[in-house]
Amino acid sequence: MDIYDLFYILSLGAGFLMAFNLGANDVANSMASAVGARAITVRQAVLIAGALNFVGAVFLGSHVTATVSKGIINASAIGDPKLILLGMFAALIAASLWVLIATLTALPVSSTHSIVGAILGFGLVAGGPQVVNWLKLGGVVLSWFISPFFAAGIAFFIFSQIRRNIFLRPNFIAHAKAWGPRWMGLTMVLVGFSFLYKTPVGTQLALTRTESLLIVGVLAICAWIGGKIMVGRLGAEIDDSVEGVETIFRRLQIFTSCYVALSQGANDVANAIGPIAAIYILAKQHAFLTQAEVPIWMLGMGGAGIALGICVLGHKVMSTVGEKITTLTNTRGFAVDFSAATTVLVASKLGLPVSTTHAAVGAVTGVGLARGYKAVDFGVLGKIVIYWLLTVPIAALTSIIIFQILKWSIY
């Protein structure tokens, strides 16, 4: 067994650990608003996220992935494939350790930024500053501000609209019957565009803008009609009260949570599998490629790791995002889901780098602020922001240390 085969085998374990952490932190925080609002229990969130993430990763995930995450370095400029092999392995371990520490302390961080920071670290040592795409790195830093503030603003607006059009009027249920189906139609617009533009399967369909608009329009009308029927039936069973309105929005939130879990499996599995694919190609061809075919069993392994992560440690981050920043109800939770998804979709289409983690936390803060500053625990929020700012430098430093140890041991 040569060094390439050895690190290929080791990278499978490191990639599984990264997928585990992805489930425990990234996936958990996107399910947190549904759990915090009591739309679903922690056990149901674990089952939904575990099953749908696996399905999303294996059946909707891309079978071709960028092997060096996010183009943060030009790895081909490093030259020596062994150095890239050691660097990718060091990056996987460093990013995994940081996300694991954040999860154990129940704080949400971006796994994408962790892997970006780790790859930046080994790239600086192996190839020098000239191999780093500093413009791309600047975009990552910019996303620390774009995602949370944009999502918070949308969440503030959405919840304010729900409150003004339903809660601040007499006859709650009558207004909820009118507005509930409209929000369902709008949610379907968001889910439809998100599926067509954000998932690998949707992108492969390569629909024209007119075709996309037509499909999404039909789906939105179907959702509006379905919403009218559902809310009409529910309205006959529930009281004209705040709790009655929350019951209507609870159904909507279960739907958005299922979609979030499915699309996250399809999109985020590449964060764990991309570096393994790079090492796999290096092991087989002793050369570096920027894109690689990913065997389906690797996607299955990533999906299984994500599912196991949310099962074992997901409750920690769910508790922080869903319960400790502010108190969530179903209407607030719906505003959070809608805002975070809108932020990710709109920013991605504009070419702006965003983090789902940052968007989710920003949206939770936004609905909290809609009730005043006292409704938000700024102590918890401050700890989360500190972890965000530390993610890239700590992942980079850890990666450098691991890379240097490996380099000294082998060369």
Place of tokens 């192996």: 126
What confidence score (pLDDT) does residue 68 get?
Answer: 53
In angstroms, rounded to a whole number, what is the distance separating the alpha carbons of residues 173 and 167? 9
In angstroms, rounded to a whole number, what is the distance separating the alpha carbons of residues 195 and 182? 20
Contacts of 408 (CB under 8 A, 6+ apart): none
What confidence score (pLDDT) does residue 218 get?
Answer: 95
What confidence score (pLDDT) does residue 252 get?
Answer: 80
**Range 123-137 burial, b when 16+ CB lie within 10 A, else e:** bbbbbeeebbeeeeb
pTM of this structure? 0.86
- Asked if 69 and 275 touch (Cβ cutoff 8 Å), the reply is yes
pLDDT of 218-237, one tens digit each?
Answer: 999 998 998 888 888 877 77
Q: Give me the residue spans of the domains in the chain.
A: 3-409
User: Which residues of the chain are modeled with pLDDT < 50?
Assistant: 69
What confidence score (pLDDT) does residue 82 get?
Answer: 87
Picking from 181, 106, 137, 177, the residue whose alpha carbon sits closest to that of residue 380 is: 106
In angstroms, rounded to a whole number, what is the distance separating the alpha carbons of residues 60 and 270? 12
Picking from 181, 334, 368, 178, the residue whose alpha carbon sits closest to that of residue 256 is: 334
Q: Where are the beta strands (DSSP E) in 16-116?
A: 64-66
What confidence score (pLDDT) does residue 231 get?
Answer: 81
pLDDT of 294-329, one tens digit each?
Answer: 778 888 888 888 889 988 998 889 889 888 999 888
What confidence score (pLDDT) does residue 362 get?
Answer: 92
- The C-alpha angle with vertex 88 and arms to 83 and 93, in degrees rounded to 5, equals 125
